Chain A
Amino acid sequence: SQQGEEDPQALSIQEGENATMNCSYKTSINNLQWYRQNSGRGLVHLILIRSNEREKHSGRLRVTLDTSKKSSSLLITASRAADTASYFCATALFDSWGKLQFGAGTQVVVTP
């Protein structure tokens, strides 16, 4: 079963717009991570936010974490065509050694 569930499943925006996707999870986590996957490629790590952090930035990426609501969001600002990819959240479960479980992903299409 999947721990994290992303919303929306798909997102279509134009270059320059912001893209926001959300992730909800069910059990206590050590951290939550976001990954990107381009078509036909492996996943690439974007950002890791620990359970005692509320917000983190990396370039045009902003991640928030609300442990009380068991949810996280990923914001991509000023999107570019190159941001077209699937984005996955992954939760590192507290009661496991280091098990990282992925959600179903959000497919983002950025049109020029």
Chain B
Amino acid sequence: DAGVIQSPRHEVTEMGQEVTLRCKPISGHNSLFWYRQTMMRGLELLIYFNNNVPIDDSGMPEDRFSAKMPNASFSTLKIQPSEPRDSAVYFCASSFGQFEKLFFGSGTQLSVL
């Protein structure tokens, strides 16, 4: 298995631009999580899905952030418009079942100038 695949690996954009991060979970996993990691705030859970349905999006910072999971093998996290304070590493993780261990992707390093 290729593991959780995230793209792009790095993204540099200018303030105000739309950013879309992509994630392919491990085949057969039914839960998907989006985390953001910064030095100041550590790892923050943004949103998680179970069977493609958003369960808890209380961690999404503001309306500029949105996430979708149209099918079991793909999810996106979109920021529109982006701001410099959105600069962080964004991780996608998947798991099988409730309360089980997570498998993380390599992350997307986002820099908003």
Contacts and interface: CB of A to CB of B under 8 A. Distances in A.
A100 B42 contact: no
A102 B42 contact: yes
Residue from B4, B97, B99, B101 having most chain A Cβ neighbours under 10 A:
B99
Give the interface SS of chain B, mostly helix, strand, loop or mixed. strand
B48 interface: yes
Nearest to B107: A42
- How many of chain B's residues touch chain A, expressed as a range? 20 to 34
Given A99-B45, A103-B42, A48 B102 contact: no
A43 B104 CA distance: 6
B5 to A, nearest CB: 11
B50 interface: yes
Nearest to A103: B42
A101 B99 contact: no
A88 B35 CA distance: 14
Nearest to B35: A102
Interface of B: 4, 31, 33, 35, 42-43, 45, 48, 50, 55-56, 91, 93, 95, 97-107
Contact of A98 (B31, B35, B42, B106): B31
Contact of A31 (B43, B99, B106): B99
Nearest to B91: A42
Contacts of A105: 42-43
20 contacts: A41-B107, A42-B104, A42-B105, A42-B107, A43-B43, A45-B101, A45-B102, A92-B99, A97-B55, A97-B56, A97-B98, A98-B97, A98-B100, A99-B56, A100-B33, A100-B45, A100-B102, A103-B42, A105-B42, A105-B43
B106 A42 contact: yes
A96 interface: yes
Interface in A68-100: 88, 90, 92, 96-100
